[in-house]
Amino acid sequence: MHVVSAYAPQKGDYFNYSETISVNNGQGSYNGYTDQNQITGMEQMNSVSGSDVSAFYNYTYQYSNNQGSSNSSSSSGNYTWSSSSFTYIDGTDNQVGYSKPTYVWFAINSSLPVGSTFYILNTQLTVMSKNYSLQLPTENNKYVQTIQALGTGEHQRNDDYGVFNASYTWNAYFDPSTGYIVGYNYLEHDNGQYQGQAASFTYTDNLYVTSTSYALTLASAPSNGNGSTVSNTMNISPDLTALSPYLVVGVGVLLIIALAIYAATRRRGKKDSLPKHSPYVPPPTPSSTPWESKIDLGSRPSEQVVIRDVVKVNCKYCGTLIPSTAETCPYCGGNRR
């Protein structure tokens, strides 16, 4: 039996990516509401010591919704991960909504056979194919060879979007030679309530690489359905050798409509306890709402929000809202001071 070794990360490995997160297909109190978050980012491996990889990340994002709210910012920092366990060791690339141990989202053991399982963030995926033709959104509609993996799950959402039962499907694609990410498609269906009214919506997260230090292998267009297309909302570099990879519906008095508009502007694109590597992106908050933002050692701005007279802040390690009086985060154990 031929044994295939996993790729050992090298200093200088990198990839740039584009990511689009959207909320749409709203029903009930979400009828007509949409928002979108556009992220451009990069991950780079700066040094390797055994299986410990010191890396750097940065990203910028632009958030907007159909009611005119918008926001943009950026983040960057250093972290360390293990190429043997594929978990973060010291810091993360600004993840939110994960459980420990925290598995990286951008790399896997490329030697895993079909049928085997692994984790990215807190979702278990199964290797479905080692020779999957993935069509990247290039002008020439080129296909590249990938490892295809599939994960599904359910969770309870209880955040500014409302209280929902959510189910999701996550297709991820990796380079067979290195195990680094090539792209993924995440689709979530949410059904529940927003401010006591029935609602539903879909939440999609599509990502693909735009350039990489590792050459992607060209593949033929699939003739048996063994292929897919990553969301083509953006262009990708044509040089494949360098690729690394509304309101509440309407019949009430004007006061009800005004309240609905106010509520919608506070919806935020955050997935609590979800597999997600995108930044926390709140839209602008009305001046009547208490809001404070600080930069803490290059991490995501910490947030103070008064909800039902209880002051909570974001844990600067995992992003979960916790009481401001807590010395440590009850979810990840991180020191809040």
**Rounded-to-integer distance, Cα 237 and Cα 299, Å:** 30
274 belongs to a structural domain: no
Q: Same structural domain for residues 132 and 228?
A: yes
CB 115 within 8 A of CB 143: no
**What number of other Cβ atoms are within 10 A of residue 81's Cβ?**
27
**Rounded-to-integer distance, Cα 29 and Cα 54, Å:** 45
259 belongs to a structural domain: no
Q: Same structural domain for residues 111 and 177?
A: yes
Number of domains the chain is built from: 2
CB 150 within 8 A of CB 169: yes
Q: Same structural domain for residues 337 and 214?
A: no
Residue 303, domain extent: 290-337
Q: Same structural domain for residues 161 and 233?
A: yes
pLDDT tens-place values along the chain, 337 residues long: 334 457 999 999 999 999 999 999 999 999 999 999 999 999 999 999 999 999 999 999 999 999 899 999 999 999 999 999 999 999 999 876 556 678 999 999 999 999 999 999 889 999 999 999 999 885 467 899 999 999 999 988 888 888 999 999 999 999 999 999 999 999 999 999 888 889 999 999 999 999 999 999 999 888 765 565 554 333 334 343 333 433 334 434 444 444 444 444 444 333 333 334 333 333 333 333 332 322 222 333 334 433 344 466 777 777 766 766 677 776 676 776 6
1 belongs to a structural domain: no
Q: Same structural domain for residues 36 and 107?
A: yes
**Rounded-to-integer distance, Cα 16 and Cα 217, Å:** 17
190 belongs to a structural domain: yes
